[in-house]
Structure formats: structure tokens, C-alpha cells
Amino acid sequence: MKKIPFLELVTPHVELEEQLVSVFRSALKTAGFVGGPMVEEFEREFAEFCGVQFCVGVASGTDALRFALIAAGVQRGDTVLTVPNTFAATTEAISQAGGWPDFVDIDGRTYNMDPQKLQDYLETQCHVDRATGRLLNENTGRPVTAIVPVHLYGQTADMDRILELAERYRLIVIEDACQAHGAEYFSRKENRWRKAGSMGRAAAFSFYPGKNLGACGEAGAVTTNDESIAERIRMLRDHGQAQKYYHDLEGYNGRLDSIQAGLLRVKLQHLVEWNRMRREVAAGYHQLFRPVAEIITPPYEPSSCNAVYHLYVVRSKLREALRMHLAEAGIGTGIHYPVALHLQKAYLGLGHKQGDFPIAEKVAAEVLSLPMYPQLRPEEQQRVAEEVLHFSGRAVAM
């Protein structure tokens, strides 16, 4: 029986082969490999796509997040709040920007930051220092200066409430939009839909190959409406120079490769359609999984979100057995992510223990990512659903 992979990246590349190869050809002819018009054009087009004024292309999503935090003013020792159920790059970027990552537990339905728990954290674990006017964490004495909400699996966090708390406590918000290219959020406050990447002071995107908009290698970008942040990131990505060999600050080698920018331009033209196809795949799964509601919980999409389903993540108490069953049937799956970050070896130094973020821990034990990509065919989805039904010991109710 034909295998159904968890992710299939060959088809879109074969379909676009001519256009992609011509990007390589023109780069070879001009030897323009770093910077130049391809990067600038991609930045302009991606900024427009996200509904922001500025986009700065960088070498990866991790660089994007790290640079955005530094450029927005996070200082050494500052506490930066995020969620425990994200990819480790979120906390790596916080630490590497000089910050101290701390966590707020997630909502059990959306798997994104729970604004109520953020409010509880700010109200019960912090106080404003009279002398400096700074918000301090009472246990560590560290200033709390920023929040990184993660738009996990392609669905935006509840940004109205997060932004309202950030404003009240004067916190910087940097969106981790690395999984959410094109996702939308309906802001009740502004009475309009807003794109992921346009709501915080700045936002980070990853163009790792498997993302909704993926390069053919490593790439990332920061989006922002703040010109000074964009300017600082342009320097940070290029060894701190605005003018060649004049280093105004110590920077990094974090530029977006020109060939990747050119390839991303080709693919960006298809992103709206690919996201639409992903939503269609998700709708198909929702429908097919109705009969097995007691075995798996499908993703929950609030009416304020237009998710782009970077991943289609279900939950099951029988996750390991289900995963094995699907593997035996030739169906690929993934786990995003099996261990919450506060329990990872790398972060034991933060001083957290099992039970500190119970929802994130429970979710980590139950999540299973099913095959999801625009080209996944209805009959393949049907087979995934049949195997889930088979696993649950029931006949397909068609």
C-alpha cells in the first residue's frame, strides 16, 4: 500500500521547477548571492503580504526572533514571557538576546498562551518597583519586559487580550509567527481582521523548508511597523554595520541569502492558494473524525481565527498506540512537541518542575500531528481517517 508521508515537499518543487531554477540561473549570471534586489523585492512583497511597513530578511526564524528582541530593547537579565509548548528556538532566541525565559501556561483548547494565566502571572507574581517604576518578578527580582506569544500550528494567539495586558504593564510584544504565514486574527478592539506578524512591535517568521512558506534552505524575516526596529535589525544581521566596515554595534552574520529570497518570491505567489488548500484539508479531517470523537480531539479554531494549519494536531490519550498503528499502516505522523520546554534538560536551570504548567504538560503527552500539506488528496485523508477508525475498533460510517 502506498505510504502517506507526514510532509511531502517534492510535488510543489517539481511543479515550480522552471521558475525556481531560473532564480538560480540569474543568480549565477550576476553572482549576486548576498543582499541586492532579490532580497529587497522579497522584503517589500512579504511586508505587503503581512500588512506591515517593513520586512527585514534574515538567515533563519531563530535569528529573526533574537534580532527582534534585541532591537526592541530587551536587556541582559530581563524576563521574557512565552509558552512552554513551543519549539526550543523561541526560548533559545530569548536567552541569546540576553533575556531570561519564563513561562505562562496555555489554553487547553487552542494550545496558545492563555491570556488569563498571563494576567494572573502579572498580577500575582510581579510588582512595580517604586524607585524605578519597573515591573519585577517577585521570586527572581528580575525585570519583566517582554512577551513572546507563539502562533502555534498556524493559529494566532488571543492577541487583543495579550496586547491589552502588555499596554497596561508596558511590555514589549514580539510575535513568534514562525508557523503562521498568512494566519489571521479578528481584533474585536479594532473591529478588523489582522495578519499574523502585524500585531506586535515586531514579529519573527521562519522560512524553514517545511513551513507554509518555505525556502530551499534556511531563511527567516522580521516584520514590523517600527522603522527604528527595522533599521537596527538591518544592522544586527550585517555585523552591526550601516556602512561597510563601520561597526556601530556588535552584530551577527544573519543575512538572508539572495537565492533563498528569489525562491521565496516565486513561492509567495502561491501562499494564499496553498493556505486555502490546507484549510480545505483541515475541514476534510474535521468531518472525517466526527465518528471518533472519543478517541481523538481535533484542533479547535475559534471564530476570531483564520488558521493556516501549518500542522494538523489532534489529541489522544492513546497517542503512542495510535501513532504506532498509523506507522504500521504506512502513515507518517509527528509530535509537536513531546516534552514541554520547562522540563527539557537544557532548561532545568530555570528552576521549574513537573506540574508547574499542567496544561502544557498534558498536551505534550497527547498531541499527534497528522499528515498535512496542500497537496494531500481527499482519498489519502480518507485512508488516514479509516485507519484511525480501524484503531478505534469501529467500522467506517459512510
Q: Which residues bind ligand PLP (CB under 6 A)?
A: 60-62, 65, 86-87, 89-90, 150, 176, 178-179, 206, 208, 220
CB of 212 or CB of 297, closer to ligand PLP: 212
CB of 107 or CB of 380, closer to ligand PLP: 107
DSSP 255-287: BPBHHHHHHHHHHHTTHHHHHHHHHHHHHHHHH
Q: Is the preceding peptide bond at 245 cis, omega within 30 degrees of 0?
A: no
Which of 339, 283, 360, 278 minimizes the C-alpha distance to 311? Answer: 278
Measure the CA–CA gap between 33 and 27, rounded to whole angstroms.
7
Contacts of 332 (CB under 8 A, 6+ apart): 3, 4, 5, 6, 7, 326, 371
Backbone angles phi, psi at 221, to 5 degrees: -160, 155
CB of 72 or CB of 295, closer to ligand PLP: 72
Parallel, antiparallel, or unpaired for β 54-58 and 184-187?
A: unpaired
Nearest approach, Cβ of residue 230 and ligand PLP (Å)? 19
CB of 56 or CB of 288, closer to ligand PLP: 56
Measure the CA–CA gap between 105 and 356, rounded to whole angstroms.
9
Burial class for 209, CB neighbours closer than 10 Å (0-12, 13-18, 19+): middle
In contact, 311 and 305? CB cutoff 8 Å? no
Nearest approach, Cβ of residue 141 and ligand PLP (Å)? 28
Nearest approach, Cβ of residue 235 and ligand PLP (Å)? 20
Measure the CA–CA gap between 104 and 22, rounded to whole angstroms.
46
Nearest approach, Cβ of residue 87 and ligand PLP (Å)? 4
Nearest approach, Cβ of residue 375 and ligand PLP (Å)? 21
CB of 58 or CB of 322, closer to ligand PLP: 58
Contacts of 313 (CB under 8 A, 6+ apart): 111, 153, 299, 336, 367, 368, 369, 370
* Alpha-carbon distance values, 330 to 1, 127, 210 (Å): 8, 54, 20
In contact, 21 and 245? CB cutoff 8 Å? no
Nearest approach, Cβ of residue 219 and ligand PLP (Å)? 7
Nearest approach, Cβ of residue 305 and ligand PLP (Å)? 16
CB of 166 or CB of 174, closer to ligand PLP: 174
Nearest approach, Cβ of residue 174 and ligand PLP (Å)? 11
Backbone angles phi, psi at 34, to 5 degrees: -130, 130
CB of 61 or CB of 200, closer to ligand PLP: 61
CB of 173 or CB of 292, closer to ligand PLP: 173
CB of 206 or CB of 306, closer to ligand PLP: 206
Three-class SS state of 205:
strand
Nearest approach, Cβ of residue 85 and ligand PLP (Å)? 10
Q: Which residue is nearest to ligand PLP (CB)?
A: 61
